[in-house]
Amino acid sequence: MARDIANANYEFANFGNKYATLILSLTCLVLVLSWYIKFLWKRRNLYYLAWNIPGPFALPIIGCAYKFLLSGTTDIMQKLIEVLKEYPDVMRFWFGPKLFIGVSKPEHIEKILTSPKAMNKDDFYKFLSLAIGEGLLTSRGMKWKKHRKTIMPAFNQKILDQYQVEVFAKQSQIFLDLLQKRVGDKDIDLVKMVANCTLSAICQTACGLNIDFQTQNLDFVDNLDKLFEITTYRIFNAQHHLVFSWNWYPLSKEFARVFNNFNDFIRYIVEKNEEAYRERKQRKASGTDDGLPKTVAFLDLIKENFTHEDLLDEVKIFIAAGTDTTALATCCIFIMLGMHQDVQEKVLDEVLSVVGPDRTPTPSDLPFLKYTERVVKESLRLFPIGVFFLREIVEDIDVGDMIYPAGCSPFFCPFYIHRNPKYWPDPLKFDPDRFLPENVAKRHPCTYLAFSYGPRNCIGGRYAIINIKTIIAMVVRKLIIFTEYKSVEEIKLKLNLTIKLRDGPKVWFENR
């Protein structure tokens, strides 16, 4: 009898445990379903408006992320362009629960990029912020407005003319001297050489520091390239968006290493700048500043309005953008000049007529290098350094023929737009005269997005063009540029946050 009672008690307890487990499971299921239904209901307008936008098939949970799953930096760009070609004007693209809308229609682009409802960069930029800080490129809201307003005066034409051109010319001369030692060499690492030139220039113009990257074997450029490569991989592989999964992935250790190297360098140059700044102020106060430079770097113009950490973030942006983008743009121009010897001769003739065979270019010379500037812009059309950029829409934006819903993230791909025959006849032909004033006037301004558009356009666009024109003018007078590439189609590219040459520039130089 006792055994029967014990068995009955055991069965009752076991039943109770199973019942409790069932109740708990059902409760959790109801809570999850309730949350999910509430989540869907709050986003009903997003789903409704997205329904009529064409786009690739989306799987449950992951959406269209399967298209980039396990993709490396080499094929991400090609996959993105292929999807855009299927939907030439507007495209819906679900990346997990997040709605992206690819926008290639210029009229829509203009309305979105100038709308106060789309001033914030998309949340995806948080991965870029982890790499290069929350500066002007990645910041949002009032922080961006404050920083933009403070930094803008440092990029005005007077500042560029007064100090920057002299620095560009000095660094371009060092670059030319190094190239002349490698005449005929087809194995030069041109991208790194130009990057070291632009890095030396940006350190001097932004921070007032004369650091010789060109003749010293420093690894900053390699670290920056690796930092961008790992960040690109993480952005396009959704399985690594969660901090937990990313920290277990071996590549996160490599990211930490190159990030620490990058961060240490930025802190070093900011500290050096602050030391020099304090010394100048002390000498000025004591009346012993005779002989000191009368011009100042960007940091000197803005530092009073920023915290130390904000200043570090802005310097990270200055250094990263001023080095990587300008270097890649310059290398692409060298390729185009090597492919089109007739264009190279026209650039040479213009430089000789404006600057002469030996004189250093001055600020008053550069505005007269009009054909050279058209060459720069046409190269940036074919090879826009920023392959794509995104915004976040906080309220519905009505563009006339459709509504972009709040909560979506429109993205824009200059590379695709710049090569679209709808806006650029014979798009792969290199023709600098596309940028003659009369031809520019015929096109919608948003068919050319080399420096983005609207209030959040690239603040350093003019800085980059002046730097590039100075380098080209200095080099083309002394060296003839050649390349192994025969056509634009041969030039294979990859995405590494910015555009990269998969097989390198394949450029070499000969004496004139």
Which segments are annotated as binding site for heme? 458
Contact call for residues 362 and 172 (beta carbons, < 8 A) = no
Count Cα atoms within 13 angstroms, Cβ side, for 289: 15
Relative to beta strand 98-103, strand 409-412 is parallel
Cβ-based neighbours of 305, under 8 Å, separated by 6 or more: 146, 150
Measured CA distances, 406 to 54, 410, 411 (Å) = 18, 10, 14
Extract the tokens encoding 484.
Answer: 């192994």
How many Å apart are CA 234 and CA 274, to the nearest integer?
35
C-alpha pair distances (Å), 180 with each of 173, 287, 292, 471, 508: 10, 45, 33, 14, 11
* Phi, psi of 123, deg, nearest 5: -60, -20
Taken in order 238, 242, 244, 250, the sign of the CA dihedral is positive
Question: Residue 315, Cα to own-chain centre: how many angstroms?
Answer: 15
CA distance 216 to 421: 45
Q: Show binding-site residues.
A: 458
What is the distance between the alpha carbons of residues 466 and 171, in angstroms, rounded to a whole number? 13
For residues 393 and 85, what is the distance between their CA atoms, to the nearest angstrom? Answer: 24
Phi, psi of 101 (to 5 degrees): -125, 115
- From 252, 192, 225, 196, select the one nearest 496 (Cα to Cα): 225
What are all long-range contacts of 241-246, with beta carbons under 8 Å and residues at least 24 apart?
241/127
Q: What share of the chain is helix, strand, coil (3-state, %, to 5)?
A: 60, 10, 30
Per the CB < 8 A criterion, the answer to whether 423 and 444 are in contact is yes
Show Cβ contacts of residue 76 under 8 Å, excluding neighbours closer than 6 positions. 68, 232, 236, 494, 495
The span from the CA of 401 to the CA of 423, in Å, is 20
